[in-house]
């Protein structure tokens, strides 16, 4: 009978010890001491054989129940201790300032591009896109600039070492062709994008720069429409005091062709009355022929200008290379 009497107090002691284990290591140790293979409670089981035969089933049942109670207490305490171990040692100080992520900004060229696009959107222009790796046909031939044309030398560029002589586009004008090949007139698009020329970098040149192309095709389009559109956009971008003038020029894909100069408080700040800003003209009938538009029915104009140049004038930046250096001291100013 002494064995049966031993069980209850032994169990109580074991429960108390398990519940009081201060950490996981202490709990593991208590587990070994009580219910491990050599634990005290396991020892009780081994003594069962010493009991009279008729008492053994009842005693075995009590021992098993107690052992189950101990296992449950063990699991519960383990859960508590594990949770405690996962908590930070120091209480959280909710009054500490938050961790700030440095806020990024759009590059000044992106900002200016978006402004230009916004201006043209106001008067119904859509944005079109084309590949930077172009073929000679779209970049030159279709724009009425055949292989023996001197204007091709003036835009010498980077050719890819492939059989089909692909090249980095020298101007966004190639997208005029791609758009007209794809859709019937009328067309009213602008094309912002990167272009390439074999230029040596200096304060006003870089082998990679960005342009915006414009193309407007409809019936009865005139130079007056061109002038009105350009004036609206440049006033929007460069200030209401902006004046523009057209000078005769030559481009093989427009006839007549012009260069656009503008004058404003900004040019005067740069010590100049007029500053050249863009090329433009009435789309050459041969270009319409090349894309399958009937030049007897359709008329249009096109223009192209450099985005860097606009940004430099707007912000008074005197070296184009600053745009590409990724110097935060420069970029943060915009």
Q: Which one of 41-49, 227-235, 279-287, 316-324 is the stretch in contact with ligand DAH (CB under 6 A)?
A: 279-287
Nearer to ligand DAH, 108 or 281 (CB): 281
Using the rule CB under 6 A, is 244 a contact of ligand DAH?
no
Single residue of 213, 226, 244, 300 touching ligand DAH by CB under 6 A: 213
Looking only at residues 10 through 39 of this chain, which bind ligand DAH when binding is defined by CB under 6 A? none
Which helix (DSSP H) or strand (DSSP E) does residue 49 occupy? none
Nearer to ligand DAH, 39 or 304 (CB): 304
Which alpha helices (DSSP H) does 87-132 contain, by range?
A: 108-122
C-beta separation of 160 from 166 below 8 A: yes
Count of positions on this chain that bind ligand DAH (CB under 6 A): 11
Nearer to ligand DAH, 193 or 281 (CB): 281
Using the rule CB under 6 A, is 279 a contact of ligand DAH?
yes
In this structure, what are the phi and psi dihedrals at residue 233, rounded to the nearest 5 degrees? -70, -45
Cα–Cα distance measured from residue 37 to residue 70, given in angstroms and rounded to the nearest whole number: 14
Q: 75-97 in b/e burial notation, b at 16+ Cβ within 10 A?
A: eebbeebeeeeeeeeeeeeeeee
For 141, 143, 176, 185, 212, the CA distances from 179, given in Å and listed in that order, are 16, 13, 5, 10, 15
Q: 213-238 in b/e burial notation, b at 16+ Cβ within 10 A?
A: bbbbbeeebeeebbbebbeebbbbbb
CB of 302 to ligand DAH, least distance (A): 3
- CA 246, distance to chain mean position in Å, is 39
C-beta separation of 134 from 194 below 8 A: no
Q: For ligand DAH, what does the binding mask look like between residues 247 and 276, x meaning CB under 6 A?
A: ----x--x----------------------
Cα–Cα distance measured from residue 199 to residue 329, given in angstroms and rounded to the nearest whole number: 27
Using the rule CB under 6 A, is 280 a contact of ligand DAH?
yes
Q: Which one of 112-120, 183-191, 298-306, 314-322 is the stretch in contact with ligand DAH (CB under 6 A)?
A: 298-306
Single residue of 138, 169, 171, 309 touching ligand DAH by CB under 6 A: 171
Single residue of 27, 168, 233, 302 touching ligand DAH by CB under 6 A: 302
Single residue of 34, 281, 291, 300 touching ligand DAH by CB under 6 A: 281
Using the rule CB under 6 A, is 304 a contact of ligand DAH?
yes
C-beta separation of 100 from 74 below 8 A: no
CB of 282 to ligand DAH, least distance (A): 8
Q: Which one of 90-98, 109-117, 202-210, 301-309 is the stretch in contact with ligand DAH (CB under 6 A)?
A: 301-309
CB of 261 to ligand DAH, least distance (A): 14
Single residue of 173, 229, 252, 264 touching ligand DAH by CB under 6 A: 173
CB of 248 to ligand DAH, least distance (A): 13
Q: Which one of 62-70, 181-189, 266-274, 297-305 is the stretch in contact with ligand DAH (CB under 6 A)?
A: 297-305
Cα–Cα distance measured from residue 191 to residue 158, given in angstroms and rounded to the nearest whole number: 21
C-beta separation of 165 from 159 below 8 A: yes
C-beta separation of 223 from 300 below 8 A: no
Widest Cα–Cα separation across the chain: 124
CA angle, corner 110, sides to 105 and 116, nearest 5? 130
CB of 318 to ligand DAH, least distance (A): 22
- The tokens describing 88, both together, are 């930070």
Nearer to ligand DAH, 125 or 303 (CB): 303
C-beta separation of 259 from 275 below 8 A: no
Footprint of ligand DAH (CB under 6 A): 171, 173, 213, 251, 254, 279-281, 302-304
């Amino acid at each position: 009978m002494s064995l049966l009497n031993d069980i209850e107090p032994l169990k109580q002691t074991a429960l108390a010890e398990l519940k009081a284990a201060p950490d996981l290591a202490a709990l593991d140790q208590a587990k070994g001491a009580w219910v491990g293979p050599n634990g005290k409670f396991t020892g009780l089981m081994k003594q069962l054989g010493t009991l009279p035969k008729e008492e053994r089933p009842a005693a075995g049942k009590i021992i098993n129940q107690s052992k189950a109670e101990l296992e449950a207490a063990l699991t519960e305490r383990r859960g508590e201790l594990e949770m405690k171990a996962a908590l930070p040692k120091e209480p959280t100080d909710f009054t500490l300032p938050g961790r700030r992520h440095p806020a990024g900004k759009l590059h000044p060229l992106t900002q200016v591009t978006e402004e230009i696009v916004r201006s043209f959107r106001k008067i119904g222009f859509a944005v079109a896109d084309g590949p930077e790796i172009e073929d000679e046909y779209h970049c030159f031939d279709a724009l009425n600039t055949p292989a023996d044309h001197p204007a091709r030398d003036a835009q010498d560029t980077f050719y890819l070492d492939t059989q089909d002589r692909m090249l980095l586009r020298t101007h966004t004008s190639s997208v005029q062709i791609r758009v007209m090949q794809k859709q019937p007139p009328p067309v009213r698009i602008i094309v912002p994008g990167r272009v390439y020329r074999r230029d040596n970098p200096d304060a006003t040149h870089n082998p990679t720069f960005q342009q915006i192309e414009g193309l407007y095709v409809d019936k009865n389009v005139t130079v007056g429409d061109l002038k009105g559109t350009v004036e609206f956009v440049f006033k929007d971008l460069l200030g209401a005091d902006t004046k523009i003038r057209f000078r005769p020029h030559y481009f093989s894909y427009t006839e007549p062709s012009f260069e656009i100069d503008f004058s404003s408080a900004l040019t005067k700040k740069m010590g100049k009355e007029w500053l050249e800003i863009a090329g433009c003209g009435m789309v050459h009938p041969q270009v319409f022929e090349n894309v399958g538009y009937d030049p007897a029915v359709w008329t249009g104009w096109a223009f192209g200008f450099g985005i860097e140049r606009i940004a430099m004038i707007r912000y008074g930046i005197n070296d184009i290379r600053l745009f590409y250096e990724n110097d935060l001291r420069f970029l943060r100013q915009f």
